[in-house]
């Protein structure tokens, strides 16, 4: 299993008015654009905004549907040291954007967040 990143697809509606994008997810859209090699090393899923977000519920349970979220491969090793790692349904995951960025930097050799 690869590390798997879930992002909200841009252009969603939440009530009346113009469509939205998720600012935290957009950080990772930009990161994937800047470092195409990263996009080829992890699995990326862009999911719809409305809840329940069935794919995330299946992976992490109903209480863990926030995005962005990075579900770690079966052996994340030392790259996860010192980061806020959570666990649900037997899977380890990171849902804090800065920690996701630090993990991706450590594991995949891209620059780190500042």
Domain locations in the chain? 4-108
Q: What is the pLDDT along the chain (114 residues), one digit of tens a residue?
A: 899 999 999 999 999 999 999 999 999 999 999 999 999 999 999 999 999 999 999 999 999 999 999 999 876 667 778 999 999 999 999 999 999 999 999 999 999 999
* Contact predicate 20/50, CB 8 Å: no
Nearest alpha carbon to residue 60 among 29, 92, 38, 84:
92
Question: Which pLDDT belongs to residue 67?
Answer: 98
Question: Which pLDDT belongs to residue 76?
Answer: 62
CA distances from 109 to 3, 22, 47 (A): 14, 25, 26
CA distances from 98 to 24, 47, 55 (A): 9, 21, 23
The H-or-E segment that residue 89 falls in is none
* Contact predicate 4/45, CB 8 Å: yes
Question: Which pLDDT belongs to residue 5?
Answer: 98
Q: Return the sign of the alpha-carbon dihedral for residues 105, 36, 24, 113.
A: positive
pTM: 0.94
Question: Which pLDDT belongs to residue 77?
Answer: 66
């Amino acid at each position: 299993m690869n590390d798997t990143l879930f992002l909200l697809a841009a252009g969603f509606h939440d009530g009346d008015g113009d469509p939205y994008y998720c600012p935290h997810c957009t950080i990772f859209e930009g990161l994937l654009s800047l470092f195409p090699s990263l996009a080829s090393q992890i699995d990326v899923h862009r999911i719809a905004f409305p809840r329940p977000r069935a794919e995330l519920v299946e992976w992490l349970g109903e209480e863990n549907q926030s995005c962005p979220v990075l579900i770690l491969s079966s052996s994340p090793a030392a790259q996860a040291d010192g980061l806020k790692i959570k666990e649900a349904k037997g899977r380890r995951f990171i849902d804090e954007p800065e920690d996701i960025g630090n993990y991706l930097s450590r594991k995949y050799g891209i620059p780190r967040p500042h």
